[in-house]
Structure 1
């Protein structure tokens, strides 16, 4: 039987999930800010650090893929708490391996814990966000993702501060790990048991193997793959910008290095602003219409970025690129969660497709760029984003869904 929430319980639940999105972003930026120090302290080369990064990415994909199984077996609340503690511990182990033990294998172990925990948590927190949308009748996942982006900003800023104060990797990562552990315990205490999240205590008696069958059923549904196309194109656009936009400004357009950093900042700010204010737009015009308009904006932005004859126009292209890529991923997650009973399975499947693109796409673009040049390689993004726009009809709300149809 579904838990009936009071207004205050709903607000605490929503705030808890905002906090979980925030610390997920915090953990990612924390790791990224210390990669140079980890590399230097351990005395490893670029090939070795690339291998370490690959292991972390593979662990994240594994976590995404098995998240629905974890929910089926243990429920959302217990799963989220455990996974947050796992990736917090993973950060601490990375610090131990770097500064205390001087051990690359220990750092890799910590990165596996961090990557797996974050990947699996990503699905669960999006399932919770979709459930909160259904409870409120409003589109909120873009705002949840804006909190994730804010967490990366906080993490990067904290990294700058602690590095400037001379903090080593262990102290830095241990502080953040402790913060995440505290947030995990406080947040989960405010997340209700709900049958729709797969919490066994809240649903009619059923074996976990039956719930596992439901968890895996999403991979047999054509809509899952159509949503995967929507998310794949936008994930390529976002991941490609994060790794290659700054270099495209500098090497492709001959601008100084600070202009490359500024171009990436323009992209990131544009994306975050639309995520903050995108929910009301979706509630007014509907998921499908918004996704189509944004895919046009992203195509126009990437084309302008490639072809712009002046630096100011390059920045306009970067801004349109960020606007266009902003909502594809969260709205894909929202659409996958339309049916609460199958939300965990469908979000897990669609997210796996999108995140494989997000993680594997940028390195693939780098390989291709060696053959045809970086700016020419970005035409691949144009094609993939256009495909995302054509597939956006898959995001139309399912019958009975209360979010994403527009006209609110």
Structure 2
């Protein structure tokens, strides 16, 4: 049978999978919610702005949780809240009700991101080969499953209520069944005091990298369906999301081997080039196949940025792993939720095609930022 480390890896993979399913379920049905509530691009941008605001509010809570408990405890509670808030988004509330659901959804997602990445560092220490990239690959597989299920629901005209209910019930069953196998006693006894203030230069640089990665990734998640529907005039608007997730999954499942063969610094530059090229292709040629190819290039480009940066974050000596994940996770969560409303506001003023150039600019930042990170590592030995 499976050894204890293998069981811990399987259980954590299940939580990564579920997180991917839930997020892609939400993101792939944003065009549906936009139609239900008759939202303009500016209205949708305003609605999505709730998410980064909520993530910032959740900073003290998440910092306290990762310092106070083993990471599996907040992971369990946040996963349940994540699922229930997802389900509540399918209720035909007023806009105020949707706002409340998004607040809970965003805070829960922030806590999950910190907890699962903290767990991944602890599980990695029990294996000789690199496995962190595979966890992020499983998240992307969850994203594919989520968008595939969304596509089926759309094709058979299943209401968003029943769609989200199915996902919630499945998620709760998976959450409870996998919880006993999660790694225990991973709370650090040193470096656990979370203080708001200026972090080290190294952590700041890593934070900026995941911030821009999150702007690109989060914005693509939330707006690629709208782009396919309104710019390309594609009725089944989930195709772009599906291809994006497939490319991200392929890349993340191979990123551990790519890191060993090419090194992280070259992969950061390659990721930057792919993001820029993919966005330019999709915006200059707004037709189905060029857009799909462009979105796929963005998926390949952005996919390795998270696992590589989290591996680098685990090398920090100033804080415990949990606190480093909380600090880096703050940048990540704010970027993930800030990207979509920025696109909404720019789309309202300049059109959606021109707004997508933001992703290319975000991708460009990885060349100078990664150079500064590796220059710093060379100096400290």
Q: What TM-score do you get using the length of structure 2 for normalisation?
A: 0.81
- After TM superposition, give the deviation of residue 92 of structure 1 in Å: 4.8
Residue 213 of structure 2 is aligned to residue 234 of structure 1: yes
Residue 144 of structure 2 is aligned to residue 186 of structure 1: no
SS in 2 for 1:220: coil
- Residue in 1 aligned with 2:264? 287
Superposition pairs for residues 8-407 of structure 1, below 5 Å? 8-32=3-27, 44-46=37-39, 53-63=48-58, 66-94=61-89, 98=92, 108-161=99-152, 171-195=162-186, 197-198=187-188, 203=189, 211=192, 213=193, 215-216=194-195, 219-245=198-224, 256-257=233-234, 262-307=239-284, 315-339=292-316, 342-393=320-371, 396=374
SS in 2 for 1:189: helix
Change (3 A) 1:290 1:125: same
Change (3 A) 1:33 1:246: closer
Change (3 A) 1:333 1:104: same
CA contact (8 A) 2:140 2:246 kept: no
Residues 94-120 of structure 1: CA deviation (Å, up to 9, x unaligned): 56x54xxx6665554444333321221
- After TM superposition, give the deviation of residue 165 of structure 1 in Å: 6.7
Q: Which runs of 5+ in 2 are unaligned?
A: none
SS in 1 for 2:3: helix
Q: Which runs of 5+ in 1 are unaligned?
A: 1-5, 400-404
CA contact (8 A) 2:48 2:341 kept: no
CA contact (8 A) 1:64 1:123 kept: no
CA distance in 2, matches of 1:39, 1:82: 29
Q: What TM-score do you get using the length of structure 1 for normalisation?
A: 0.76
SS in 2 for 1:216: coil
CA contact (8 A) 1:301 1:321 kept: yes
CA distance in 1, matches of 2:28, 2:286: 33
Of 150-159 and 223-232, deviating more is 150-159
SS in 2 for 1:257: coil
Residues 15-54 of structure 1: CA deviation (Å, up to 9, x unaligned): 11110011112222334466677678xx754277766544
SS in 2 for 1:365: helix
- After TM superposition, give the deviation of residue 224 of structure 1 in Å: 1.7
